[in-house]
Amino acid sequence: MGRIAGSSGARTAASIRRAGLRLIYRRGFEAMSLRELAAEVGIQAASLYNHIRTKQDLLFDLIREHMERLLAHTDLALAAAPAGAEDRLRAFVASHVTYHLERKHEVFVANFELRALDPRHFAAIVALRRAYEEKLVAVLDLGVARGEFRIGDTRITAYAILAMLTGACTWYKPEGRLTKQEVVALHTGLVMHGCLGLAPTEGRSGTGLAALSRDS
């Protein structure tokens, strides 16, 4: 990549983050060198230190930025949803799946390179992840308290839901047979079906197997 002519400090810093994300996704954090990163951006290796202190700091900033954007995206979705637990859960699922399908590289780096963070940075990211998990747990707790959901353990259910929803970005392809909207609808049906505690042949509020078939 050629040098970015006339780029400002902010533009160069943004280019470094984008290039770092691509390289970490393709090669892994440990394999990526700062010299390689500088060449990708089109600047001298020494110039990187005008924008990042260390490779470790770059990784932390990428994951932190991902988590902060995810939290903000979810807050907006939940704020726009009606007060009922079912509506809030639908909003959470749609927000999570949509965000993750559109940010495959960020999701991969945040999940698989978390182990590469030093203890201080690791603790900071784990705190953000827990804050995000708590948003879903709160929705599930609300549904149980109001008798809307039939869940034995809301925290374990939240972990299972998040694992399923996040997994969609590992197989989804924009050119595939399902649109993003169809993927969201399918996962929404699966989550609601489980939380409402329906038997395989039951249906409620359009969330039975027939509705799942229509959604997907």
**201 and 119 in one domain?**
yes
**9 and 99 in one domain?**
no
Q: Please state, in angstroms and rounded to a whole number, the distance separating the CA atoms of residues 94 and 185.
A: 8
Q: Quote the domain boundaries for residue 158.
A: 54-215
**111 and 41 in one domain?**
no
How large is the average pLDDT for residues 176-180? 92
> How do residues 122-172 score in pLDDT, each as one tens digit?
999 999 999 999 999 999 999 999 999 999 999 999 999 999 999 998 899
Predicted TM-score (pTM) of this structure: 0.82
Q: Please state, in angstroms and rounded to a whole number, the distance separating the CA atoms of residues 68 and 31.
A: 26
- List Cα–Cα distances, 159 to 52, 146, 164, in angstroms: 34, 21, 9
CB atoms within 10 A of CB 63: 25
**96 and 58 in one domain?**
yes
**129 and 90 in one domain?**
yes
Give the chain's domain count.
2
